[in-house]
Structure 1
Amino acid sequence: MPAPTALQRAPDALAEDVHNAHEIPLPPSTVDENIDLEIITAEPEIPFQPDHMLEDTSMQIDEEGRPRFAPVSSTAAATTSSSPSQPNSPNSIRIQSRKVPIPPHRMTPLKTSWPKIYPPLVEHLKLQVRMNIKSKAVELRTSKFTTDTGALQKGEDFVKAFTLGFDVDDAIALLRLDDLYIETFEIKDVKTLQGEHLGRAIGRIAGKDGKTKFAIENTSKTRVVLADSKIHILGGFQNIRIAREAVVSLILGAPPGKVYGNLRTVASRMKERF
């Protein structure tokens, strides 16, 4: 009969074997205690990088002691502005949208002029546009083809200019030029007028068959829209100031002949300046 193994023995016998194992003397050490052991550690391997992959981490400083940084590339800028839903696409941009409400009295002109409104927005600014008849608004949205960061704001200003009463050809200038603005004010902001006095002030600004308004526009190189008691002026900063002074003079009761004389003086000064 074979002898029982260690696993088949009784627990007391196994404990006795372990106790006897601790009493076995160890052989004397053959290593001299006076000898210093040298521990050799392996150095981490540095991966090889070509010279064109090594970046210069030294800071460049100009003559005045200010640090100079390299310009940000278009790829890095696109990555920074990428949407959280697409973090791994380097050329993606954040999709933004705007909704421009249309007044009820401008819906019919909008439908009529729509073939002239959307081509500049789509072809020039690379925006996605649609006319929402149910909510009476024009919706604008950027796309992956949009390159100009201010395209959405320019498109909104263009549509708002049309809703204020400007022609499409005049409002398109907002898309092509950067120094154009729209200023809006009311007649009561200049002088409190009511009833027939308000009607006469509007008549002085417009003139017979609109001649006074056209004279102000041609002299100041602006566009003026009379919408009841509100006045909208489209043009450059200095040009808006000239047109506004002429309109304010007419509101305060100045005769059109005197305003014409002032406009001639301003026009001659502008020609000398340029």
Structure 2
Amino acid sequence: MPAPTALQRQPEEIVDDAENVPLPMEVEDELLIDPASSAPTEINPSISAPAALENDTEMHIDEEGRPKFAPAKNTDGPLKVETRKVPIPPHRMTPLKASWPKIYPPLVEHLKLQVRMNIKNRAVELRSSKHTSDPGALQKGEDFVKAFSLGFDVDDAIALLRLDDLYIETFEIKDVKTLTGEHLGRAIGRIAGKDGKMKFAIENASRTRVVLADQKIHILGGFRNIHIAREAIVSLILGSPPGKVYGNLRTVASRMKERF
């Protein structure tokens, strides 16, 4: 009688391919993995999560399958001294010298940075020290000085130090539409308006600050507010009548008041 094939073997026997020796059912049971043993290890609720993570080197997973890590330890000051150099345009050196008594106190007293004005290299140099506690202080200080170098007032630039959701967006008129000669001058005039009224209206409606630096436009504010101001400026560049832009700004301003 021919030997039974693999499909004809009895279910209680498992053949080892290496030795071709049937294995009993007890061995098969040992090879199976218990679902309970493969479940993630639960942390004892009586032990706090930070204490359990500090005393155990294994990685624990919560109910949603996300790993739990020990909280980062606070360090006394920065790990190393870092230096930043912010270049200042030539036309902003005189305002920098005049406003220097208002610029360095927030950097030194609030951010605990070391700062100096390098007149020879036309730059403001920032450096962290052992007294600097905020790891992002150096970046905030650089953004503050850079905002002033772009043309913003000191009081407006200080908002970058106190608030975390403020940004600066810069774009050029040629990024929207290629204009030359008198067409470019008229576009800049539409953005500024008579005696700067159009620019002030955009700032008040969108709660931003706008700087017109020749063909470059700098906007300081929140993400949504920058979007509103940019849309109004783009409409003016493309040739929309100022009256129509005024009406859109009034509508946007009323909606923002209702929201807040």
With normalisation by structure 2, the TM-score equals 0.76
Q: How far apart are 1:72 and its partner, in Å?
A: 2.6
* Partner residue of 1:218 out of 181, 201, 204: 204
Counterparts in 2 of 1:183 and 1:67: CA distance versus 1, 3 Å: closer
| Higher-Rg member (1/2) | 1
Q: Residues of 2 paired with 1:253 and 1:71: CA distance?
A: 55
Match of 1:148 in 2: 134
1:56 corresponds to 2:55: yes
Letter in 2 for 1:211: K
Q: Residues of 1 paired with 2:234 and 2:169: CA distance?
A: 13
Identity of aligned residues (%): 83
Match of 2:33 in 1: none
Counterparts in 2 of 1:127 and 1:200: CA distance versus 1, 3 Å: same
1:261 corresponds to 2:260: no
Match of 1:74 in 2: 74
Unaligned runs of 5+ in 1: 1-54, 79-90
Task: Please list the CA deviations of residues 63-108 of structure 1 after superposition, one character each: whole Å capped at 9, or x if unmatched.
Answer: 3455533313214xx5xxxxxxxxxxxx662100000011111110
Superposed counterparts of 1:194-205, under 5 Å: 194-205=180-191
Match of 1:244 in 2: 230
Counterparts in 2 of 1:73 and 1:229: CA distance versus 1, 3 Å: same
Q: Alignment partner of 1:99: what SS?
A: strand
Letter in 2 for 1:186: E
Match of 1:119 in 2: 105
Q: Alignment partner of 1:172: what SS?
A: helix
Unaligned runs of 5+ in 2: 1-53
Counterparts in 2 of 1:92 and 1:248: CA distance versus 1, 3 Å: closer
Match of 1:173 in 2: 159
Match of 2:12 in 1: none
CA RMSD of aligned residues (A): 1.6
Match of 2:31 in 1: none
